[in-house]
Amino acid sequence: MASKLTRSNRAGWLMASPGIALIAAFIILPFFLAFTFSLTNQRLASPNPTKYVGFENYRDLLGLAYFTLEPERDDAGAVVRSADGDIKYPRLRNFTRNNPDYPNLQGKREWFSWQSGENRKVVLASDVVFMKALVNTITFVVVVAPVQAGLALILALLINQKLRGISLFRAVYFMPVVVSIVVVSLLWRFIYSPGDGLLNNLLSALTFGAFTPQDWLGNPSTALGSIIAMSIWQGVGFHMVIWLSGLQTISPTLYEAAQIEGSSKWQTFRYVTWPGLRNTAILILIVITMQAFALFAQIEVMTQGGPLDSTQVLVFQAFERGYGKQDISGGSTISVILFIIVLSVSLLQRWLTREKK
Amino acid sequence: MNKTLILSALIAGSLTGSALAQTELSLWYHGAGSANAEEALVNQLVEEFNASQSDWTVVIETFPQLAYNDAVGAAALAGKLPDILDVDGPVMPNWAWANYMQPLGIDESTLEGYLPGPIGRWNGEVYSVGLWDAAVALTTRRSTLEKYGIRIPTLETPWTLDEFNSALETIKASGDFEYPLDLGMAWKGEWYPYAFSPFLQSFGGDIVDRDSYQSAEGILNGDEALAFGEWWQSLFTNGYVPGTSQDSADRETGLLEGKYAMSWNGNWAALPVVEAFGDDVLFLPAPDFGNGSKIGAASWQFGISGTSEHPEGARAFIEFALQDKWFAAFSDGTGLIPVTASAAEATENYKPGGPLEVFYGLSKEQALLRPVTPGYIVQAKVFEKALADIANGADVADTLDAAADEINEDIENNGGYGH
């Protein structure tokens, strides 16, 4: 019991107490509040009393159903086809709206579907927007974590040299991190502006006019990609600095030894640098993952989740519901789900990167 | 001895002080740093009220508009609301329902002859009154319409749906403009329900059933609403209007620069157009899509907070503000519409023959309040997203179904919002 933390360490605890108090008041307490709210129908402003609703909020978000849509048939039982040969299906809304034969589909909407012979298989969700936000968030993390970490490492290796004016490059690479993300997002909105925006102009100049201008943020197929690219650019400098600090802890004697042994550049990186960066790599991976899950400001400023939900993400949805639509319980539920996801991913990463003895 | 003297002097001083002191009333105002004269005029209004009587002193505190509603919500939770609140018209029922506000309790005969927009009613009682209203019109140039042989509509005979569509098609086909019409898709937020829900209402649909305010089923996704949705989508698929990714700078200057032939815009943006085009400018009424031309109504208004200990003082201030003199002053300072005809005559822009006179008529004849319900805050967001999604190519019926479902679910979760 008498660990280092408790044994005659009053001064230490005293100095830590302001920080602990703040963290308790603004992080730990809200977390427990969010969990409690997610089990109620708590509103932001309402004269109605708050009621305990159990796991209804979770059911409303996570409810899924699977349905086989059969084609329309004429009196003879043949499949009805439109003029260009496509099979005609009845509208899904006939099944999902006030149809007593399909109570499990009530209020659900199509999430995605695929063709299977003459039938169409449909997956329906109670909350399609949430599902899209979940998929977009995971996509964002899966792309950003490795790409941002990799780019940051390359930049760190480039600037970890003794050259004239190298600190200028360090400053340039680090600059986007210092600028507020809201300002960066606003600037990138101009860069991505449709028609004669900066990026469109640049690309048509480079291709001598062969490039057709894109509506980067207004097109569902490019919007999320545009935000990913911009986010990587903005965050890469920060992780570059962490890599750099890791690089500088590697003892120069190891490099000298490698040189004497006649190792190539790649071998030096593979057998000296990379093993020396092990702990840094773990740190960076976990930090980027957590930051990427928290994606919010870029979405709020640049797309508001549009077009067609192609950039909806979990934190933006939690904010939009809790604050915009005054549904604190709904927003809290999303926060709790996000917490569970981030916690599991971090634990998994810790386990995968553990020291193997 | 000396000490007692000082003490008694102090007590006497504080006693006379409190006998003479006026009761302080706090006023929260949303327009900190507003570009026009509105903020200065509100300050002037407060100063003149304080000088005009000796019972009350109004102390003003201004907030930036973006933070204002949040500040009121937070203050209500903390029990620290001011006495007098500034409130956006469509938000008022929500605040009244949540007990942020109490009925004004002023004599309703004083409100006779007012435009319909500036009077905020909830549950049969007046909760807020505005000193101005805003209106929206199709802004364009006479020369443009004459060039393409398009009839110039009037308040009595606005364009029909077919006329409007063919006007857009004609202008589009000429290739003289990037887009025939600018709807202001760059302005996210309240602009969508304010500016576009009147189109839906002119088609015969609405955001929510206004008889009971309990359901949107068949109203937001009925046949009329579907017809509206299909037409709305066609504007974008036909290339008549710029989409949701419109550059906000183009929204501000596109009409003036000749990128757009027409612009659906508010009277607050009208003066620069008058300056640029002079007599050539036209402010046209909304097309009649089948159920008469409609435009949105209600701007910022004053009301009394639910926790005010001196509602009679707050009432005195609001009654002091409700004078033609102030309506005219605000209109001259901001370009907004004065709320009475007599005040309009005294203004520069809305007097007979004034450059913006037409807006007074628009506001009087066509103004329709946004749904008067505490659920409007949520309904506005749902409507905004539905219109953006349809503009971006989402299936019309599915999108409107989903919007109606979400609105109904929200009404249910809030126990019917007290209707």
Are B119 and B353 within 8 A, CB to CB?
no
Give the least confident one: A195-199, A242-246, B261-265, B407-411: A195-199
Residues B288 and B302 in one domain: no
CATH of the domain at B313: 3.40.190.10
B397 → closest Cβ in A48, A93, A307: A93
Instruction: Please check the confidence at residue B17 and state whether its pLDDT lies above 50.
Output: no
In what helix (H) or strand (E) does residue B326 lie, and over which residues does it extend? helix B324-334
Own/partner contacts of B196-201, CB < 8 Å, gap of 24 or more, are B196/B232, B196/B387, B197/B296, B197/B370, B197/B383, B198/B136, B198/B286, B198/B294, B198/B295, B198/B296, B198/B366, B198/B368, B199/B228, B199/B232, B199/B286, B199/B289, B199/B294, B200/B225, B200/B228, B201/B291, B201/B294, B201/B368
- Nearest-Cα distance to chain B for A105, in Å, is 13
Give the least confident one: A82-96, A115-129, B83-97: A82-96
Residues B268 and B385 in one domain: yes
CB contact under 8 A, A326 and B377: yes
B381 → closest Cβ in A92, A218, A325: A325
- Nearest-Cα distance to chain A for B263, in Å, is 19
Are B83 and B25 within 8 A, CB to CB?
yes
B394 → closest Cβ in A43, A47, A308: A308
Give the span between the Cα atoms of B269 and B260, in whole angstroms: 15
Residues B27 and B75 in one domain: yes
CB contact under 8 A, B245 and A43: no
Structure tokens at A69: 């849509």
Q: Quick one: pLDDT at residue B18?
A: 43
CB contact under 8 A, A218 and B245: yes
Q: Quick one: pLDDT at residue B16?
A: 43
In what helix (H) or strand (E) does residue B193 lie, and over which residues does it extend? helix B191-203
Residue A216's closest CA among A316, A295, A307? A307
Identity at B89, one-letter amino acid code: G
Give the span between the Cα atoms of B131 and B251, in whole angstroms: 27
Give the span between the Cα atoms of A337 and A35, in whole angstroms: 10
Beta bridge partners of A143: none
| CA atoms in the 13 A half-sphere facing the CB of A311 | 26
Last residue of a domain, one of B337, B365, B393: B365
Residue B53 domain flag? yes
User: Is B123 an 8 Å CB contact of chain A?
Assistant: no
Q: What average pLDDT does the segment B261-267 reach?
A: 93
Give the span between the Cα atoms of B70 and B411, in whole angstroms: 22
Q: What average pLDDT does the segment A161-169 reach?
A: 85
Domains in chain A (CATH in brackets) are 65-125 (no CATH), 129-352 (1.10.3720.10)
Identity at A2, one-letter amino acid code: A
How many CB atoms lie under 10 A from the CB of residue A151? 18
Residues B402 and B275 in one domain: yes
B414 → closest Cβ in A43, A215, A309: A43
| Residues within 8 A of A (CB atoms), B 238-257 only | 243-245, 247
Give the span between the Cα atoms of A321 and A37, in whole angstroms: 13
Residue B189 domain flag? yes
The runs of H, that is alpha helices, within chain A are: 10-23, 29-37, 56-62, 93-96, 128-159, 166-178, 181-191, 198-206, 223-248, 252-260, 265-268, 274-276, 278-293, 297-302, 314-319, 328-352
| CA atoms in the 13 A half-sphere facing the CB of A315 | 16
Structure tokens at B116: 């319909």
Find the closest chain B residue to A93 by CA distance. B398
Look-up of token digits 């809305």: B350
Q: What is the mean pLDDT of chain A?
A: 89
- Nearest-Cα distance to chain A for B207, in Å, is 16
pLDDT tens readout for residues B101-133: 999 988 888 898 899 889 999 988 999 999 999
Give the span between the Cα atoms of B408 and B410, in whole angstroms: 5
Model confidence at A6, in pLDDT bands (50, 70, 90)? low
Residues in chain A closer than 8 A to B415 (CB atoms): 48
B381 → closest Cβ in A194, A306, A324: A324
Give the span between the Cα atoms of A245 and A6, in whole angstroms: 32
Look-up of token digits 């829900």: B197
CB contact under 8 A, B413 and A327: yes
A45 → closest Cβ in B73, B381, B413: B73
- Nearest-Cα distance to chain A for B389, in Å, is 5
A88: which DSSP letter?
P
Residues in chain A closer than 8 A to B405 (CB atoms): 107
CB contact under 8 A, A306 and B397: no
User: Is B319 an 8 Å CB contact of chain A?
Assistant: no
End-to-end CA gap in chain A: 28
B150: which DSSP letter?
-
Give the span between the Cα atoms of B145 and A156, in whole angstroms: 61
- Nearest-Cα distance to chain A for B314, in Å, is 23
Instruction: Please check the confidence at residue B313 and state whether its pLDDT lies above 70.
Output: yes
Residues B225 and B354 in one domain: no
Q: What average pLDDT does the segment B264-288 reach?
A: 90
pLDDT tens readout for residues B338-356: 999 999 999 988 988 888 8
Q: What average pLDDT does the segment A249-267 reach?
A: 91
Residue B242's closest CA among B184, B161, B281, B312? B184
Instruction: Please check the confidence at residue A204 and state whether its pLDDT lies above 50.
Output: yes
B245 → closest Cβ in A48, A215, A308: A215
Residues B321 and B274 in one domain: no
Residues in chain B closer than 8 A to A48 (CB atoms): 414-415
- Quote the number of domains for chain B: 2
Residues B272 and B167 in one domain: yes
Structure tokens at A350: 């810790």
| Residues within 8 A of A (CB atoms), B 389-418 only | 389, 392-394, 397-398, 401-402, 405, 409-410, 413-415, 418
Query: What percentage of chain B reaches a pLDDT higher than 90?
Result: 66
Residues B399 and B261 in one domain: yes
Residues B252 and B384 in one domain: yes
Cβ within 8 Å of residue A2, ≥6 positions away: none
Q: Quick one: pLDDT at residue B4?
A: 54
CA distances from A185 to A227, A287, A302, B184 (A): 9, 21, 6, 21
Residue B108 domain flag? yes
Chain A residues interacting with chain B (CB cutoff of 8 angstroms): 41, 43-48, 91-93, 97, 107, 109-110, 128, 193-195, 197, 215, 217-218, 220, 304, 306-309, 320, 323-327
Are B102 and B304 within 8 A, CB to CB?
yes
Residue B32 domain flag? yes
CA distances from A124 to A102, A127, A330 (A): 13, 9, 20
pLDDT tens readout for residues B69-83: 888 988 988 889 999
- DSSP-assigned states of every residue in B70-110: HHHHHHHHHT---SEEEEEGGGHHHHHHTTSEE-----GGG
Residues B145 and B52 in one domain: no
Residue B17 domain flag? no
Residues in chain A closer than 8 A to B100 (CB atoms): 45
Residues in chain A closer than 8 A to B244 (CB atoms): 218, 306-307
- DSSP-assigned states of every residue in B358-402: HHHHHHHHHEEPPP-STTHHHHHHHHHHHHHHHHTT--HHHHHHH
Model confidence at B15, in pLDDT bands (50, 70, 90)? very low
End-to-end CA gap in chain B: 68
Instruction: Please check the confidence at residue A38 and state whether its pLDDT lies above 70.
Output: yes
| Residues within 8 A of A (CB atoms), B 268-287 only | none
Structure tokens at B238: 């036909």
Residue B224 domain flag? yes
Residues B309 and B280 in one domain: no
Residue B16 domain flag? no
Residue B141 domain flag? yes
- The residue segments making up the domain with residue B78 are 22-134+298-365
Torsion of CA B195, B249, B329, B327, to 10 degrees: 10
CB contact under 8 A, A48 and B415: yes
Residues B140 and B128 in one domain: no
